[in-house]
Structure 1
Amino acid sequence: MSTSLSYSFRHCPFSWLLLLLPVLLFSCEGTDVQQQSNQVPAEVFVPAVRPPYVRPASLITALEDSSSHWVDSVFNTLSPEERIAQLIVVEAFSNQGPDYEADVMRLIKQYKVGGLIFFQGGPVRQAKLTNAYQAASKVPLLISMDAETGIGMRLDSTVQYPFQQLLGAVADNGLIYQMGAEIAAEFKRMGMHVNFAPVADINNNPNNPIISYRSFGEDRLDVTAKSLAFMRGMQENGIIAVAKHFPGHGDTEVDSHHDLPVIPFNRARLDSLELYPFQELIRHGVGGVMVAHMHIPRLDSTENLPSTLSKPIVTGLLKRQLEFKGLVFTDAMVMKGVTKYFDTGEAEAKALIAGNDVLERLANVPKAIRAIKKAIANGDITQEEIDRRCKRVLTAKQWVGLDKYQPIDLANLQEDLTPATADSTNWAIAEAALTLLNNRKHMLPVRQGKGLSIATLSVGAKRPTVFQRQLKEQAKTTDYVISRKAGARETARLWKKLRKHDVVLVALYGPSIRPSNNLGYSKAARQLVQKLAGSNKAVITLFDNAYALNQFPGIEKSQALVIAYQPHYQAQEAAVKLLFGQIPARGKLPVTINQHYVYGDGISKDKPLIAGP
């Protein structure tokens, strides 16, 4: 015993009790001290620090990992009904006024819908609405857009890229990847996360009323390669790409917006053609697939059943056989392709039973939720399955960064959405797509001999066009403009004037900036084009859907014929450069138009055209 301890015992008779007291206390069961000691772990041990979320390279990888704390924590705050609502995407416009905006806000606040799909409006208005909607939402909203040509397809004062038929004429798929990357940047700047693109349909039917110029073309390998480039451009820059319209909407003559198309092909045909791009996109990690409203009896013989509501197609074919692990979206649930035979609510319930993850653009949200709850009560689908899909949607939200949601910064928004790089990409694509189909007697490039009289004619315009203004910078021209609906007298007078010129540079336009299935020319206007094609003096450039050549009998007789596909100013200026030999012709027809012009046609040179003898 130490000196100090001996000292304490000698001078304090009860010191030995002090030493025994802790032993006595800890040996007594049920004492306060012991109860406190049993509670120590809960008060003393610090919970393990969770590692920060590391965003996987692909959405598919993220969806296969069920260990997200953020997903679980958000999911646990949701009622069963709110978990259903997370599978619902409703439409939103930024040009419909306060009453419409209040209706959207009501769906967000009252029903806790999972996402929005924006349509027409303006970028600043949409950004302000997005901030307001996100602030009001219990769970951050997944914001999407059907923007096959970029946000300019929906929003004014923003960049619009070409439709896919024009892209189908381009040999360099790197330009398509670049376009996808730039669209992704625009989406991020606008606080959006999902683009319903690319169109992976193979359009091999010239009479297709809905796909047509929205497809990359008729060749399955080209469509696949270009779809992959577009998809990678978006997804490698953080935006979810959604390939559409599964299992392939290219060979139809019915618009599913207005009726239910019937696809008669068997599985062997579908495997060899329509399904091929989807198979490859799935193999390379596309994040989403949109299912079309089509009746395919060879895959599901249920009468009048759209593919969207078919379990053999959605679950059996897409999920099991093709092993798609991403998000399955329905096409718009307001389209006649689904509403013609199924009531609102019933259709949404059947779509979830079929295997879709996300219901897009509903006509009646409360009615749909009630029908889905009834389906759960009836045992048609389980709440556990709804919960699983809800977690998949939440996982996608985390992958796009909504676990760290930030409002859209409105400063310099307009400028940020119109970068110089976008214009450069549009220029490069327009020049690469120009397709030269005729060049008889070396009509191109246009030669400017002394005394040569050159006329320009824009058919389908009200005033001189970009094409004509640019031509005037290259040569002395006399310019004419005529309506698509011109009558016989007007065209006859114009023909008399045009006959006096040595060369007539003709531009054909449709009714709008986007390509058309029907240009709507009058009989007299078509006959004027036919006369010009039969002369030995016309160079004709079509600034519209390549299939529109079929609306001009005899156009194959023209001395020179160019397809520019769209009337964007870059395409019009690029066509002028081609006509005067400043750039080469490199485009190839992505589709067969008729017996005169088939897939792959195009007089192509690696250098600008050289004038012949």
Structure 2
Amino acid sequence: MRILRSALLILSASAFGSTVFAQTPGFLSGNQKQQHWVDSVFHKLTRKQKVQQLFFVRAHTNLPQRYQDSVGRVIHDEHLGGVVFFQGGPGRQAELTNKYQALSKVPLLISIDGEWGLGMRLDSTISYPYQMTLGAIQNRAIIKKMGEYVAYDLKRLGIHMNFAPVMDVNNNPNNPVINYRSFGDDKHNVAQKGIAYMQGMQDGGILTTAKHFPGHGDTDVDSHYDLPQLKFDKARLDSLEMYPFREAIKAGLSGVMIAHMNIPALDNTKNVPSTLSRPIITGVLKDSLKFKGLIVSDAMEMKGVVKFFPNGLADVKAFIAGNDILELSENSARAVTMIKKAIRHHEVDEKELDEKVKKVLAAKYWAGLNHYKPSLAVGVFDDLNRPEAYALQQELADKAITLLKGDTTLQKLDPLKHTAIVSIGVPEKTVFQQELCSNFKDAKMFIIPKDVSAPNMSAYLKELKGFDQVIVGLHDNRNRPASKIDYPSNLKLMIADLAALPNVVMSLFANPYTIAGMPGIEKSSALLACYQKEAFMQRAAAKVITSKIKAAGKLPVSVNTYFPTGSGIVFGDVMP
């Protein structure tokens, strides 16, 4: 084991240059009260219970009672360390969290994927803009504020850890799994925005988990279904993919989530995912980047990790590789037995188990679990849907709208002229249209669905030519903004013809990558990138068009030669 560790240190030093001296995460402060509590819990644990503390189980509040009860039995019988909540409702989750905590000998660390807030998983809660939308904002302070608001919401439900932010550099437009979840394709922008979000959450008392190390942005395979491969050399990985993680570690990041990716330049073992790679997790992340915080595996039920390492083997290898927390094992009881066997056979030093457990317990202390108090379900809806949260949501949207061209066109729009206000890709009147109609007195609304017939397209185009000015909203009405908009080709041709008319303003409520799949849209007199379909983005775009606010966003990704990263006509003061 000493020989292996020495070899890894040599690999790390040669591959990644000079040593990075990272700041210690806040939860590892090492104060005497913390140490006393950690030791008092640790010394009461058997070896089996120590291993069990490293496993987190899946939980839902939108599934039948029998499912919820089965999770409770696992928590009680297996003494697991934590829970990862998925879909459900806030009141139900507060109550179920209290129930699960009551079943656990050691308080549970409660976690969630809340990349854009609780609304990513729970109904009746607020969703803040996606990270790609945030990537357009030129004000990091407001992103930090969003992190503080997200932290408040999570703590209100008894949640201690957020599996966020995403710090992948999304430089592959066809990425099926990261994409709009990333702050963009510029590593500096990703690092700055990710750190701001992280610091806001950590200042608010939430453990953060930057993901997906060493970088899942340049893949075209979804690791939920298969094992992606990164074929880049060490220099590229170090300078690009790992850059945001390195900067976040220096800023005091509390946790890192490991991706399921095969990376031959860092570990040439055939088909081994990074989650199971000791050269990557221990050699690079811990030894070279000097990361001291929690190392969390991505879900251990995903095909990217179990495809080549089935029947519990993935769990054992993930433990040996250096992960502190294994989330969503296919069978945690089996995994615990196999890891105990690996320790007995000296496949890993038992001191590493002790270090992992104490780190998890230190995180629990930092989260306040040394004095656990149940969450109150009463009033939770009002607390999570407070007016100031929605005001921040709208302010973020207002600062993200990106004017790609046409500042003079917007200035010349006349509220008294004959105006067409068009929404394409939707079945009914939109918020965008409603907001604009209150400003343009001689206006007519048009609703053009995706399945519009060819004769109707021609009729719409002919009628729209008769207006003095035409304001168009292009809407992707799907739940998640994919890189390619699902419009039929003839509708895209109609949009190109419409863009070529004089005095046409187009607002794209979709993933900005979709611009590349709509040739001719760049000919419009004005073009706004609005990133996503939600009402708060539609209101923000209407404000820009009616000169109530100035456009302040810049494109966080490169779309095509017309609109590279950083495109955007910005007015007014831009704060750091």
Letter of the 1:580 partner, please give it: T
Task: From 454, 465, 470, give the equivalent of 2:419.
Answer: 454
Aligned equivalents of 1:153 and 1:124: distance in 2?
16
Letter in 2 for 1:422: A
Q: Which secondary structure state, in structure 2, belongs to the residue aligned with residue 210 of structure 1?
A: coil
Query: Which letter maps to 1:427?
Result: Q
Of residues 494-503 and 305-314 in structure 1, the stretch that sits farther from structure 2 once superposed is: 494-503
Q: 1:410 aligns with which of 377, 382, 390?
A: 377
Q: Distance in 2 between matches of 1:179 and 1:449?
A: 35
Aligned partner of 1:515 among 481, 488, 507: 481
Match of 1:59 in 2: 26
Q: CA deviation at 1:297?
A: 0.3
Query: How far off is 1:482 after superposition?
Result: 2.2
Q: Would you identify which runs of 4 or more consecutive aligned residues in structure 1 move more than 4 Å?
A: 63-67
Q: How many residues align?
A: 551
Deviations 1:371-390 (A, max 9, x none): 21221232212443223211
Match of 2:538 among 572, 577, 594: 572
1:108 to 70, 75, 78: 75
Q: In 2, are the aligned partners of 1:513 and 1:568 still within 8 Å (CA)? A: no
Alignment CA distance shift 1:66-1:335 (3 Å): farther
Contact 1:445–1:578 at 8 Å: present in 2 too?
A: no
Aligned equivalent of 1:261:
228
2:430 matched to 1:465?
Answer: yes
Residue 244 of structure 1 pairs with residue 211 of structure 2: yes
Q: 1:211 is matched with which residue: 173, 178, 182? A: 178
Residues 18-71 of structure 1 show CA distances to partners (whole Å, capped at 9, x for unaligned) of: xxxxxxxxxxxxxxxxxxxxxxxxxxxxxxxxxxxxxx9953533697972222
Change (3 A) 1:586 1:449: closer
Q: Equivalences for 1:439-450 in 2 at 5 Å?
A: 439=406, 442-445=408-411, 447-448=413-414, 450=416
Letter in 2 for 1:109: H
2:28–2:363 contact (8 Å) kept in structure 1: no
Corresponding residue number in structure 2 for 1:275: 242
Contact 1:487-1:525 at 8 Å conserved across structures: no
Counterpart of 1:521, as a letter, is Y
* One-letter identity of the residue aligned with 1:598: P
Offset at residue 234 of structure 1 (A): 0.6
Q: CA deviation at 1:449?
A: 6.3
Mapped partners of 1:367, 1:486: distance in 2: 55
Identify if the C-alpha distance between structure 1 residues 392 and 449 changes in structure 2 by more than 3 Å, giving closer, same or farther: closer
Structure 2 residue aligned with 1:532: 498
1:589 to 547, 555, 560: 555
Q: 1:342 and 1:511, CA in 2 relative to 1: closer, same or farther beyond 3 A?
A: farther
SS in 2 for 1:547: helix
Larger C-alpha radius of gyration, 1 or 2?
1
Distance 1:559-1:172 versus aligned 2 partners, 3 A rule: same
Q: How does 1:331-342 map to 2 (within 5 A)?
A: 331-342=298-309
CA distance in structure 1 between the partners assigned to 2:152 and 2:290 by the alignment: 30
Match of 1:365 among 332, 357, 362: 332
Equivalent AA in structure 1 for residue 525 of structure 2: Q
d(CA) in 2 for partners of 1:487, 1:338: 46
Amino acid of the structure 2 residue aligned with 1:295: N
| Paired residue type of 1:174 | A
> 2:27·2:366 contact (CA, 8 Å) conserved in 1?
no
After superposition, where does 1:366-405 map in structure 2 within 5 Å? 366-405=333-372
CA distance in 1, matches of 2:324, 2:30: 12
Residue 422 of structure 2 aligns to a residue in which SS? strand
1:76 corresponds to which letter in structure 2?
H
Question: Could you give the per-residue CA deviations for residues 393-423 of structure 1, whole angstroms, max 9, x where no partner exists?
Answer: 1111011000100000122111111122211
Distance 1:176 1:96 in 2: 33
Whole-angstrom CA distance in 2 between matches of 1:202 and 1:370: 38
Structure 2 CA distance for aligned equivalents of residues 392 and 126 of structure 1: 26
Partner of residue 17, structure 2? none
Work out which of the residue numbers 119, 133, 136 in structure 2 matches 1:152.
Answer: 119
User: What SS does the aligned partner of 1:334 have?
Assistant: coil
The Cα shift of 1:446 comes to 5.4
Aligned to 2:10: none
Q: TM-score of the superposition, structure 2-length normalised?
A: 0.92
Give me the whole-angstrom Cα distance separating, in 1, the residues matched to 2:322 and 2:415: 68
- Aligned 1:13-24 pairs, distance under 5 A: none
- The one-letter code sitting in structure 2 at the alignment partner of 1:324 is F
Greater displacement, 493-502 / 172-181: 493-502
Give 1:475 shift.
1.1
In 2, the alpha carbon distance for the partners of 1:449 and 1:234 equals: 43
Q: Which amino acid aligns with 2:391?
A: S
The correspondence for 1:505, drawn from 471, 475, 478, is 471
Deviation of residue 132 (structure 1)?
A: 0.6
Deviates more, 1:479-488 or 1:319-328: 479-488
Seq. identity, %:
46
Tell me the C-alpha RMSD between the 2 structures. Answer: 1.9
CA distance in 2, matches of 1:362, 1:525: 46
Q: Determine whether 1:134 maps to 2:101.
A: yes
Q: Is the 8 A contact 2:24 2:293 kept in 1?
A: no
- Unaligned residue ranges in structure 2 (runs of 5+): 1-22
Tell me, yes or no, if the aligned pair for 1:434 and 1:562 is still in contact at 8 Å: yes
Higher RCO (CA 8 Å, separation ≥ 6 residues): 2
SS state of the match for residue 58, structure 2?
Answer: strand
Q: In structure 1, what residue type is equivalent to 2:440? A: A
- Partner in structure 2 of residue 558 of structure 1: 524
> Which 10-residue stretch deviates more, 286-295 or 380-389?
380-389
Q: In structure 2, what is the Cα distance between the partners aligned to 1:600 and 1:91?
A: 39
2:194 maps to amino acid: S
Aligned with residue 85 of structure 1, among 48, 52, 73: 52
- Give the SS at the match of 1:372: helix
CA distance in structure 2 between the partners assigned to 1:184 and 1:310 by the alignment: 32
Q: 1:325 to 1:63 in 2, by over 3 A?
A: farther
Aligned-partner Cα distance in 1 for 2:486–2:301:
28
- Is the Cα–Cα contact under 8 Å of residues 534 and 554 in structure 1 kept in the other structure? yes
Q: State whether residues 477 and 533 of structure 2, in contact with CA within 8 Å, keep that contact through their aligned partners in structure 1.
A: no
5 Å-filtered alignment, 1:40-55, equals: none
Residue equivalent to 2:461: 495
Query: Helix, strand or coil: the match of 1:273?
Result: helix
Q: Which among 258, 274, 280 is matched to residue 291 of structure 1?
A: 258
Which residue of 513, 525, 530 corresponds with 1:547?
A: 513
Whichever residue aligns with residue 83 of structure 1, its letter is K
- 3-state SS of paired residue (1:229): helix
Please report the TM-score for the alignment, with normalisation by the length of structure 1.
0.87
1:115-126 equivalent positions in 2, closer than 5 A? 115-126=82-93
Residue 600 (structure 1) shift: 0.9
User: For residue 208 of structure 2, what is the amino acid of its counterpart?
Assistant: A
| Alpha-carbon distance in structure 2 between the residues aligned to 1:446 and 1:484 | 30
Report the Cα offset of residue 518 of structure 1.
2.9
Alignment-derived partner of residue 37 in structure 2: 70
CA distance in 2, matches of 1:321, 1:65: 29
Please state if 1:427 is matched with 2:394: yes
* Alignment-mate amino acid for residue 62 of structure 1: S
| Greater mean alpha carbon deviation, residues 328-337 or residues 65-74 | 65-74
In the alignment, structure 1 residue 189 sits paired with structure 2 residue 156:
yes
